Amino acid sequence: MRRIFFILLFSLFIIQLGFGQYKDKDLSNLMPLPKKIELYDGKFIIDKDFVVSIQNNSSKRIEKAVTRFVRKLSNETGVFFKHGFPVKQKDHISPFKIAYKREGKLKLFEDESYILNVSSKNIELSAPTDIGVLRGLETLLQLVRSNAEHFYVPSINIIDSPRYPWRGLMIDVARHFQPLDVIKRNLDAMAAVKLNVFHWHLTDDQGFRVESKTYPKLHELGSDGQYYTHEQIREVIQYASDRGIRVLPEFDVPGHATAILTAYPEIASKDTTYQIERNAGIFHPTLDPTNEKTYELLSSLFEEMASLFPDEYFHIGGDENEGKHWDENQKIKKFKEQHGMKTNHELQTHFNIRLQKILKEYNKKIVGWEEIMSPEIEKSAIIHSWRGVNEGLPAGESLIQAIKLGYQTILSNGYYVDLMLPVEDHYLVDPHPKGVNLTKEQEKMILGGEVTMWSELVTPVTIDSRIWPRTAAVAERFWSPREVTDIESMNVRLENVSLQLEKLGITHIRNKEVILRNITKSNDIRAILALSKVCEPLKKYTRNKGGMEYQTYAPFTLFADACTSDAKDAKAFGKLVSQLIEQPNDKKIRIQLNQYLQRWSLLSSNLDDFDNPIINQIKPMAENLSKISYILNYYVKNNKITSAQLEVLDKYIEMAKVPVVDVELVLVPSFEKLIKHLKKQEKVMNK
């Protein structure tokens, strides 16, 4: 039997037949979905003789990648391989052959395509570049499955290449410093889902995170001792390069610069002293664009950093500079008048143009947040579109503006995973949304996008659980054909990919329980774990009102930190409620509902065993949930409910809508849906 999936060519066909959901078990670990898949009956069995051969002119990158691949495969299958390392093709007859034409360059538009053919006897992976081979190895690892006797790869042919050349993840290491191991494991995860740009947000009001040899006060006074040395930066770049990932550094100027001004107040727009910022938000400190010393410092600093970071692009930030200190400074006001500048945006453009020139000398093109957009900026610049509905603007508006002005552009609006929104919200955002008509040339100006992970509310313990697994879904948006949009399929595959990510060291699953043990001071976390699966941290930065509730040194081992978006049990319960309303007589659904409601109705008494201020803050919420669950469970078991009960429920639901300890009980909509249904039914039932 031959099962073919041409996503690109036959997408409608696939979706209609349900193939788009990839319920075929053999494909249920794949993310991002490849462009073209032909699946056959037959299996390549992984046993102790498994060995990989590489064509003669093997690159260092390939050798390392294949060695990592063999380790992962051994750990995945528990098979003790005779060969722990790849072999040369000429020395060895191997069933798994890797071939590529040349070493890939870590450059925009580099070829990342690959062809993977698996039969019951052979695996062949070929690609124009070694980077393509890397992508193919990740696909192959996702294809590993098992039956009772063997681990195997199904017979399959895959032809694959990315939709967009720029597929990024930005990590903010300024608000909360992220040590090297956090960065490395996230690079591993990025590689697993074929992301290829690590955007390193290195400076902000809360910290300057790179050692500077030209201006050492930057890291000495601007980082609380938490910064990367040159060697560490090089280590990360090498680590990324080994995985076919570019590293894009960001030095955010002229705003978001408190840490810089803490070290060098002489280039500030306001004559005062500065201290590293401990809160979150938009602050006034900004560089003085009329001071030649500013350019002197930036020029030397960028020269140093340009030689440290090999990528041809350099992100200069440029966002959220409101210019209050510019308005207050007479010298700057005069400068604006002298140069006929009417707005601060014009002044910032003047600044940006100078930076663009400086960086051009060091062979760098600039990337900047959308505020840098201005027709005077050279067209080699990339506009990083980020604002949208939250900022009172149409989503991704600047992306289209940039294209029309002739700039290449990348999209981050819609991909702010730190907003704690459901995965679907991000997954369905397309860099080129339907209804936006672009010429072929214009379409090419969209290079791709970046997930952004701002770190005001995360530490090394929690950051992974904010980035993953949702970023894997966005990675599919960037890589896979536009037509791949089936939510159900995505959710099934994301659950599996989430487990794969854990094996790379990503802590999104394990650290939930770590935090809960910290809260209970106990190994017994069953009750609070159940609660954490129906609660989500407050969304859209409402957790940190005005940026002033949490300081960088605040505790981030709270219940909200153990909770994640897409709370699992709440999602599952929601589905069951919908099913119950449609099939009120289905006993299976009632049994499952009963299991959840029973557990939740006992939550409150189970939490009583624990007694400390943190737990005690959570208890009222648990108690309320237990009461609601108890009544609803009465209905589920007996299929009747009284008006009095419904009335009480209404009261409890209102209470359940109030956030407690920075989380919301995300069961509320499902409860309301069920109660609404019950009210309709009430008379019928109680006859």
Does position 556 interact with its own copies (CB under 8 A)? The reply is yes
Does position 623 interact with its own copies (CB under 8 A)? The reply is no
**Would you state the structure tokens that stand for residue 478, as one six-digit string?**
């960037």
DSSP letter for each residue of 586-649: -HHHHHHHHHHHHHHHHHHHHHTT--SHHHHHHHHHHHHHHHHHHHHHHHHHHS---HHHHHHH
Give min distance, CB of 230 to its own copies, in A: 9
Give min distance, CB of 495 to its own copies, in A: 8
Give min distance, CB of 52 to its own copies, in A: 13
Does position 511 interact with its own copies (CB under 8 A)? The reply is yes
The alpha helices in 18-163, defined as continuous H runs, are: 60-77, 130-142
Query: Applying CB under 8 A, which of residues 221, 428, 614, 653 lies at the interface with its own copies?
Result: 614
> Considering only 14-22, 112-120, 494-502, 625-633, which stretch makes contact with its own copies by CB under 8 A?
494-502
Query: Applying CB under 8 A, which of residues 19, 69, 151, 200 lies at the interface with its own copies?
Result: 151
For its own copies, the closer of residues 526 and 637 by Cβ is 526
Distances in whole angstroms, Cα of residue 139 to Cα of each of 26, 76, 159, 228, 368: 12, 14, 11, 33, 33
Does position 514 interact with its own copies (CB under 8 A)? The reply is yes
**Would you state the structure tokens that stand for residue 489, as one six-digit string?**
């399929």
> Considering only 108-116, 196-204, 554-562, 673-681, which stretch makes contact with its own copies by CB under 8 A?
554-562
Q: At what angle do helices 180-192 and 130-142 cross, to 10 degrees?
A: 80
Query: Applying CB under 8 A, which of residues 273, 523, 585, 638 lies at the interface with its own copies?
Result: 523
CA angle, 318 then 322 then 328, to 5°: 125
For its own copies, the closer of residues 78 and 546 by Cβ is 78
CA angle, 357 then 362 then 366, to 5°: 55
> Per CB under 8 A, which of residues 61..90 are in contact with its own copies?
64, 70-71, 74-81, 84-85
For its own copies, the closer of residues 179 and 584 by Cβ is 179
Does position 149 interact with its own copies (CB under 8 A)? The reply is yes
Give min distance, CB of 460 to its own copies, in A: 8
Q: Helix, strand or coil for residue 659?
A: coil
For its own copies, the closer of residues 91 and 647 by Cβ is 91
Query: Applying CB under 8 A, which of residues 150, 324, 640, 679 lies at the interface with its own copies?
Result: 150
> Considering only 141-149, 170-178, 299-307, 624-632, which stretch makes contact with its own copies by CB under 8 A?
141-149
Q: Name the active-site residue from 312, 320, 424, 682.
A: 320
Q: For the window 391-410, what string marks contact with its own copies as x by the rule CB under 8 A? A: --------------------
> Considering only 377-385, 519-527, 575-583, 679-687, which stretch makes contact with its own copies by CB under 8 A?
519-527
Distances in whole angstroms, Cα of residue 268 to Cα of each of 201, 286, 357, 425: 21, 6, 21, 40
Give CB contacts under 8 A, 24+ apart, made by 679-687: 679/646, 682/641, 682/643, 682/646, 685/639, 685/640, 685/641, 686/640, 686/641, 686/642, 686/643
For its own copies, the closer of residues 526 and 673 by Cβ is 526
Query: Applying CB under 8 A, which of residues 503, 539, 571, 637 lies at the interface with its own copies?
Result: 503
Give min distance, CB of 39 to its own copies, in A: 20
Give min distance, CB of 571 to its own copies, in A: 13
468 with 508: CB under 8 angstroms? yes
For its own copies, the closer of residues 356 and 552 by Cβ is 552
320 in active site: yes
With 0-12 / 13-18 / 19 or more C-beta atoms within 10 angstroms meaning exposed / middle / buried, residue 338 is exposed
For its own copies, the closer of residues 178 and 626 by Cβ is 178
Spatial separation of the C-alpha atoms in residues 497 and 473, rounded to whole Å: 10
For its own copies, the closer of residues 161 and 226 by Cβ is 226
Is the CA virtual torsion 389, 390, 396, 398 positive or negative? Answer: positive
Q: For the window 532-551, what string marks contact with its own copies as x by the rule CB under 8 A? A: ------------------xx
> Per CB under 8 A, which of residues 162..191 are in contact with its own copies?
179-181
Say what the alpha-carbon torsion angle 142, 147, 149, 151 is, to the nearest 10 degrees: 0
> Per CB under 8 A, which of residues 215..244 are in contact with its own copies?
225, 229, 231
Q: Helix, strand or coil for residue 100?
A: strand
- Cis link prior to 584 (omega < 30° from 0)? no
Spatial separation of the C-alpha atoms in residues 10 and 271, rounded to whole Å: 64
Does position 271 interact with its own copies (CB under 8 A)? The reply is no
Contact residues for 580 (Cβ-Cβ < 8 A; gap 6+): 586, 589, 590, 593, 674
162 with 212: CB under 8 angstroms? no
Q: Total binding residues for its own copies by CB under 8 A?
A: 56
For its own copies, the closer of residues 499 and 658 by Cβ is 499
For its own copies, the closer of residues 273 and 523 by Cβ is 523
296 with 225: CB under 8 angstroms? no
Query: Nearest Cα to 153, choosing from 268, 64, 228, 52?
Result: 52
CA angle, 151 then 155 then 161, to 5°: 110
Q: In the chain, count H helices and then E strands.
A: 25, 21
For its own copies, the closer of residues 447 and 494 by Cβ is 494
Give CB contacts under 8 A, 24+ apart, made by 400-403: 400/436, 401/373, 402/370, 402/373, 402/445, 403/438, 403/442, 403/445, 403/446
> Considering only 6-14, 99-107, 147-155, 357-365, which stretch makes contact with its own copies by CB under 8 A?
147-155
363 with 348: CB under 8 angstroms? no
Query: Applying CB under 8 A, which of residues 90, 91, 93, 148 lies at the interface with its own copies?
Result: 148
Active site residues: 320
Q: What residues make contact with its own copies under the rule CB under 8 A?
A: 64, 70-71, 74-81, 84-85, 146-151, 179-181, 225, 229, 231, 278, 495, 499, 502-503, 507, 509-511, 513-514, 517-519, 521-523, 550-558, 611-614, 616
